[in-house]
């Protein structure tokens, strides 16, 4: 493992993923029941160990791929959790990652495997080790990101209504937002493209669907982007 640094202390490095999803109504977190000892059967984030020939982000991608079959999931490193003794199974430092995925198409797939389940993030169970703390950090980071990026677009389906987007932001920030002001602000950024299609599932009148405008996003001045 180490050619030179023979007198140093080796340890195991793991990745734990806080996976956020949005079911159109509430912000959710995907949890699993640990499949191995110690703490087998308890609720836990999804994770895995970093292998010899793998970067930490590759580990995170692998863990998510093994679970969801999806590549190219949006992911971001949060921070290390490294208290000695945090893992009863040994000296393990864990790097927390947060990930944003579109639910819906994949929902069944998840739930059918390994006891995975979506939890409303206001009603989380007790998790193993420091995983509850990781989720709190992740929520802070999600708020930061959503303020300066159109984070909704990673959580929503390809076509979505402004109400859905607003509802998502209300969930993330846990406060109501004025729909007129919200629409005006989002639309003024010119990163959405209005379709000639309406979503009629939630209202009699029907509301217009939008898609993310990648071109408009590229032209946007990222530094002055501030949605919240």
Partner DNA sequence: ACAAAAGTGTTGTCTGTACACCCATGC
Partner DNA sequence: GCATGGGTGTACAGACAACACTTTTGT
Note the residues at the interface with DNA (CB under 7 A). Answer: 161-163, 178-181, 183-185, 198, 200, 202-208, 226
Which one, of 17, 7, 70, 87, lies nearest residue 47 by Cα? 17
| Rounded Cα gap, residues 34 and 114, in angstroms | 8
Out of DNA, a copy of itself, none, which partner does residue 55 contact, by CB within 5 to 8 A per kind? a copy of itself
Name the residue nearer to DNA (CB basis): 174 or 178.
Answer: 178
CA–CA distances in Å: residue 89 to residues 38, 84, 93, 128, 226: 6, 11, 11, 12, 43
Name the residue nearer to DNA (CB basis): 136 or 203.
Answer: 203
| Rounded Cα gap, residues 71 and 15, in angstroms | 17
Out of a copy of itself, DNA, none, which partner does residue 33 contact, by CB within 5 to 8 A per kind? none
Residue corresponding to tokens 């300066």: 148
- Minimum distance from residue 136 beta carbon to DNA (Å): 24
Residues linked to residue 44 through DSSP beta bridges, in sequence order: 32
Which one, of 218, 210, 167, lies nearest residue 192 by Cα? 210
- Minimum distance from residue 148 beta carbon to a copy of itself (Å): 10
Out of a copy of itself, DNA, none, which partner does residue 139 contact, by CB within 5 to 8 A per kind? none
Name the residue nearer to DNA (CB basis): 71 or 175.
Answer: 175
Out of DNA, a copy of itself, none, which partner does residue 25 contact, by CB within 5 to 8 A per kind? none
Name the residue nearer to DNA (CB basis): 27 or 162.
Answer: 162
Out of a copy of itself, DNA, none, which partner does residue 38 contact, by CB within 5 to 8 A per kind? a copy of itself
Q: Token pair of 159, please?
A: 């076509």
Which one, of 70, 15, 20, 74, lies nearest residue 46 by Cα? 15
Residue corresponding to tokens 């389906």: 157
Name the residue nearer to DNA (CB basis): 35 or 187.
Answer: 187
Name the residue nearer to DNA (CB basis): 181 or 215.
Answer: 181
| Residue 178 burial class via C-beta count within 10 angstroms: exposed 0-12, middle 13-18, buried 19 and up | exposed
Out of a copy of itself, DNA, none, which partner does residue 168 contact, by CB within 5 to 8 A per kind? none
Binding site for a copy of itself (CB under 8 A): 1-5, 8-13, 37-38, 49-57, 77, 79-80, 82-84, 88-93, 95
């Amino acid at each position: 493992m180490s050619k030179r640094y023979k007198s140093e202390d080796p340890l195991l490095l793991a990745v734990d993923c806080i996976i956020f999803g949005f079911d159109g109504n509430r912000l959710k977190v995907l949890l699993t029941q640990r499949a191995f000892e110690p703490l087998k059967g308890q609720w836990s984030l999804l994770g895995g160990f970093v292998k010899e020939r793998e970067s930490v982000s590759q580990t995170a991608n692998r863990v998510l791929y093994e679970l969801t079959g999806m590549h190219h999931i949006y992911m971001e490193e949060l921070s290390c959790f490294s208290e000695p003794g945090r893992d009863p199974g040994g000296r393990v430092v864990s790097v927390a990652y947060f990930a944003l995925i579109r639910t819906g198409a994949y929902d069944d797939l998840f739930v059918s495997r390994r006891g995975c389940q979506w939890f409303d993030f206001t009603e989380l169970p007790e998790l193993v080790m420091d995983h509850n703390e990781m989720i709190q950090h992740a929520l802070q980071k999600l708020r930061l990101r959503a303020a300066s990026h159109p984070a909704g677009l990673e959580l929503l389906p390809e076509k979505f209504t402004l109400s859905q987007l607003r509802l998502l932001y209300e969930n993330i920030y846990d406060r109501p937002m004025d729909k007129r002001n919200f629409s005006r602000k989002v639309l003024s950024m010119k990163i959405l493209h209005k379709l000639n299609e309406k979503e009629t599932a939630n209202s009699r009148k029907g509301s217009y669907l939008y898609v993310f405008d990648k071109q408009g996003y590229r032209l946007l001045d990222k530094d002055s982007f501030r949605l919240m």
